Every structure is written in C-alpha cells, then in structure tokens.
C-alpha cells in the first residue's frame, strides 16, 4: 500500500518508503541494518558509505549483494558494477569491518546464460523481423533512420547480439558478492 498524502508509503502500517537517492537521504533515526541489493552499483560509493555510517549505530550492519568489476585486459561486454579494487580500498579506509563475504558469481552466471539464450533465440529474431517489415513498408524512411542512427544501432546490436553477455564473460569480468559489514564502535 502506498500513501501519497504523506510523501512516503506505508506498508501495512509498519514501514515507510522514501523516494530519492540513498546518498541524499536524510533520515530522522538510526537503523540496525542497511541493505544494498543490486543497487550499490548505481551509487556514488563514497557518499553512500558516508550516509550508511551516519544512519547506523555502532555495531549496526551494512549488507551489500551486488556485482563488481574485476581487473581485466579487455573491456567487459557486461556493464555495471563498482571496481572491486577501488571498493576494497574504500572499505579499508571506512569505519566498517568485514564480517563475512561470499562470492556467489557461480550461482548467478547461469542466469546470464539464460538471458543470452533468450536474446539469441527470441529477441534477435523478433528484432530482425520487425526491421525487415519496416524496411519493406517504409524503405526511404528506414534508410534515413538507419543512416542517421547508425552508431547507436551498431552499439545496441553489439551490446545485445554479440553473444558475449553470457555466464563465461560474467565470470571473466565481474564478481557477484554478498558482503556483510559491521560499523565499528
């Protein structure tokens, strides 16, 4: 249930939802646990960690379940993620201590294989069919549009139809981690 009247949502009268960036969140209390589940990759890491430290009492927990970039000699075909080396340096300089870390990349990688299969077997054939129909019905318009947006189209097709957004590339370029930290006293 969501209540627009108060600017936040009430969930069965027990919780509140705040709209906005976590880095800008100004809470009126402290929390026992802050969870970043597939959201930390979109944040300014320094600001997010500062806000988390301010919102947790000593002994409070920070749980991060997210994707991180690994050092690589080639660009990753899979986007997203904080650089793992930079993140570790930030955490070493932060008021947080690591309680437990688990690499769950091997459990996530099969999802990328399924996604790649969906692109290969369903999305790309549909995309090709739609383009062919548009070219047949509107040849001049499509020539103009494909010329005008050729770079964007090439990037889109390379990203989604290269066959490189699979589990093997995920394991080579990314690490999916579940990390539990405690705010030092």
Given a contact cutoff of 8 angstroms between Cβ atoms, the answer to whether 31 and 56 are in contact is yes
- Residues 60-87 pLDDT 10s: 999 999 999 999 888 888 888 999 999 9
Alpha carbons 134 and 144: distance in angstroms, whole number: 12
- Name the architecture of domain 9-107+174-183: 3-Layer(aba) Sandwich (3.40)
> What mean pLDDT do residues 132-150 have?
96
Residue 12 banded pLDDT, cuts 50, 70, 90:
low
Structure confidence at residue 134 (pLDDT): 96
The Cβ-side half-sphere exposure at 85, using a 13 Å CA radius, reads 3
Q: Which two tokens stand for residue 87?
A: 């993140």
- Inter-residue contact 29 to 60 (CB < 8 Å): no
Are β-strands 33-37 and 61-69 bridged in parallel, bridged antiparallel, or unpaired? parallel
Q: How far apart are CA 106 and CA 79, in angstroms?
A: 18
Its pTM stands at 0.79
**Residue 166 DSSP symbol:** S
Largest interatomic CA distance in the chain: 68
φ, ψ of residue 23 to 5 degrees: the values are -60, -25
Per-residue pLDDT for 104 more than 50? yes
Average pLDDT on 78-99 reads 95
The stretch 93-109 carries a mean pLDDT of 97
DSSP 8-class letter at 71: P
């Amino acid at each position: 249930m969501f209540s627009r009247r108060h600017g936040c949502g009430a969930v069965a009268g027990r919780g509140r939802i705040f709209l906005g960036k976590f880095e800008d969140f100004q809470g009126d209390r402290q929390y026992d646990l802050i969870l970043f589940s597939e959201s930390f990759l979109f944040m300014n890491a320094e600001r997010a960690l500062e806000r988390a430290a301010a919102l947790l009492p000593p002994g409070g927990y920070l749980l991060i379940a997210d994707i991180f970039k690994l050092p690589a000699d080639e660009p990753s075909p899979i986007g997203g993620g904080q650089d793992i080396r930079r993140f570790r340096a930030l955490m070493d300089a932060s008021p947080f201590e690591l309680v437990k870390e688990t690499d769950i990349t091997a459990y996530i990688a099969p999802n990328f294989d399924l996604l790649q299969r969906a692109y290969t077997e369903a999305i790309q054939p549909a995309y090709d069919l739609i383009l062919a129909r548009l070219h047949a019905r509107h040849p001049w318009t499509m020539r103009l549009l494909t010329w005008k947006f050729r770079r964007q189209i090439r990037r889109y097709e390379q990203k989604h139809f290269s066959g490189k957004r699979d589990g093997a590339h995920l394991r080579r370029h990314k690490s999916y981690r579940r990390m539990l930290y405690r705010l030092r006293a």
